């Protein structure tokens, strides 16, 4: 669920400043108890999409506001203009009164929030959910020809959601996209709609990462400029889990949604930096120092409503800069059940760092290695990715007995790419 080559993370480029210093984090163990039984059961992939049609909340936009040289994704991702003028999806909203929006005030903590400490920040929220097969609302096109994406059966005006069964309280999944992405960008929306098609209400903020820190570094001068503002890179990361919690607060209390959601069944699904976001929601400590290789770290938040989370190509940092403190110590004792799906060819979010971090977790934990997969959505592995994700969420969030039994022996998914369990 990676927005193609646009996903880049600063630690890869910090080597310019740290003279390629590479420090191994963690130990050499595989994270499994000595007597643990290797999981070998091969399960069949789930059909994609799932049994439910999907509909989404109002995200109507006025694309005539775009300048001649502007791309709509600049607003979805929060990229400032060349002159430094702020841009965010709120600037395009055609019906802001009926679009889900939250405001987060960053705590007065400059270690975590840098220049944004104490500031109020707005986040737009998209919600997608299982709907009736005969939902008459049309799909909403997202600014063709720049993108062929559509929002299925989108609500317009003050229309209420049309659930597949209005008498049911549905489980919830909080979704966090990768750096420089948005909920309606490419493969991220595929992930949202697929999870919703299996009966979950998916709540996804537009993080607008580039409002806080632009980490696209193409030369040494850019790297030095970013290094002088690394506090705002930390702010970018720390504000993400706060936006997730605020989005949950909003939707769980909203009169159109609250009676249809099960507050006792809330999970998470994050991609790349979104995987990091899920662990921060679980109480993990975030690295706050950069030139001592993460010696200092600090807890951002703890949202106990998140029962379990999945990370696809989850970002645990680089060997020179672990995401959760030196040797991933900020994950020590964290009990959030977590499934990581990591690519063995991923250099942006190395599987070695995921292994070091997940080994420190105390709850149900899995690390699945996707052989040969880089930091991108691997279409050949789609069945593997979503079968693992939905099985884990069904077991840990829904408490589904069949899924619990399947997960207890599951070693790989038939067909698709080559997937295998690394930590179990």
**Count of domains observed in the chain:** 1
Q: Which whole number is the average pLDDT over 108-135?
A: 97
User: Between 230-253 and 273-281, two packed helices, what is the crossing angle to 10 degrees?
Assistant: 60
Q: What is the pLDDT of residue 231?
A: 76
Q: Does the structure show a pLDDT above 50 at 402? A: yes
Q: Does the structure show a pLDDT above 80 at 285? A: yes
Find the CATH number of the domain harbouring 398. Answer: 3.40.50.1820
Q: What is the pLDDT of residue 237?
A: 95
Q: Which whole number is the average pLDDT over 207-217?
A: 82
Give the domain range for residue 133: 4-423
Token digits of residue 364: 């149900």
**What's the pTM value of the predicted model, to 2 decimals?**
0.91
Identify the weakest region by mean pLDDT among 316-330, 361-375, 407-421: 316-330
Q: What is the pLDDT of residue 186?
A: 83
Q: Smallest Cα–Cα separation from 331: which of 278, 285, 366, 290? A: 285
> Which residue's entry shows tokens 């919830």?
172
Distance CA 335, CA 257 (A): 29
Q: What is the pLDDT of residue 225?
A: 53
Q: Does the structure show a pLDDT above 90 at 303? A: yes
Question: What sign does the CA torsion over 59, 65, 71, 74 have?
Answer: negative
Selected residue with higher pLDDT from 288 and 143:
288
Q: Which whole number is the average pLDDT over 120-124?
A: 98
Confidence of residue 338 (pLDDT cuts 50, 70, 90): very high
Q: What is the pLDDT of residue 57?
A: 98
> Cα-Cα-Cα-Cα dihedral of 400, 397, 188, 154, to 10°?
80
Q: What is the pLDDT of residue 32?
A: 67
Q: Does the structure show a pLDDT above 50 at 51? A: yes
Q: How many CA atoms lie within 13 A of 152 on its CB side?
A: 20
């Amino acid at each position: 669920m990676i927005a193609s080559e646009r996903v880049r993370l600063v630690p890869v480029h910090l080597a310019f400043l740290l003279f390629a210093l590479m420090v191994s984090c963690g130990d050499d163990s595989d994270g499994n108890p000595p007597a643990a039984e290797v999981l070998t059961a091969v399960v069949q992939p789930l059909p994609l999409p799932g049994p439910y049609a999907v509909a989404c909340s109002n995200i109507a936009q006025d694309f005539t506001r775009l300048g001649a040289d502007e791309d709509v994704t600049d607003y979805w991702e929060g990229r400032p203009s060349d002159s430094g003028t702020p841009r965010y999806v709120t600037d395009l909203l055609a019906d802001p009164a009926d679009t889900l929006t939250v405001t987060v005030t960053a705590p007065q903590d400059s270690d975590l929030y840098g220049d944004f400490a104490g500031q109020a920040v707005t986040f737009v929220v998209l919600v997608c959910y299982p709907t009736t097969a005969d939902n008459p609302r049309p799909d909403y096109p997202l600014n063709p020809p720049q993108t062929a994406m559509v929002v299925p059966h989108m609500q317009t005006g003050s229309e209420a959601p049309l659930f597949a069964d209005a008498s049911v309280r549905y489980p919830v999944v909080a979704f966090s996209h990768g750096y420089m992405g948005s909920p309606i960008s490419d493969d991220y929306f595929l992930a949202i709609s697929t999870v919703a098609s299996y009966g979950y209400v998916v709540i996804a903020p537009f993080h607008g990462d580039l409002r806080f820190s632009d980490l696209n570094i193409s030369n040494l001068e850019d790297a030095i400029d970013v290094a002088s503002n690394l506090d705002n890179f930390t702010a970018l990361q720390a504000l993400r889990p706060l936006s997730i919690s605020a989005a949950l607060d909003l939707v769980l209390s909203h009169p159109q949604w609250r009676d249809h959601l099960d507050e006792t069944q809330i999970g998470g699904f994050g991609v790349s930096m979104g995987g990091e976001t899920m662990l921060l929601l679980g109480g993990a400590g975030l690295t706050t120092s950069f030139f001592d290789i993460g010696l200092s770290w600090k807890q951002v938040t703890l949202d106990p409503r998140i029962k379990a989370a999945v990370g696809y190509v989850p970002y645990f940092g680089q060997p020179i800069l672990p995401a959760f403190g030196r040797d991933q110590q900020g994950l020590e004792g964290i009990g959030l059940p977590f499934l990581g799906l990591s690519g063995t060819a991923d250099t942006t979010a190395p599987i070695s760092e995921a292994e070091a971090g997940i080994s420190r977790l105390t709850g149900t934990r899995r690390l699945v290695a996707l052989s040969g997969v880089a930091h991108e959505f691997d279409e050949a592995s789609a069945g593997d990715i979503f079968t693992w994700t939905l099985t884990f969420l069904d077991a840990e969030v829904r408490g589904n007995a069949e899924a619990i039994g399947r997960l207890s022996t599951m070693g790989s998914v038939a067909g698709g790419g080559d997937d295998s369990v690394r930590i179990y």
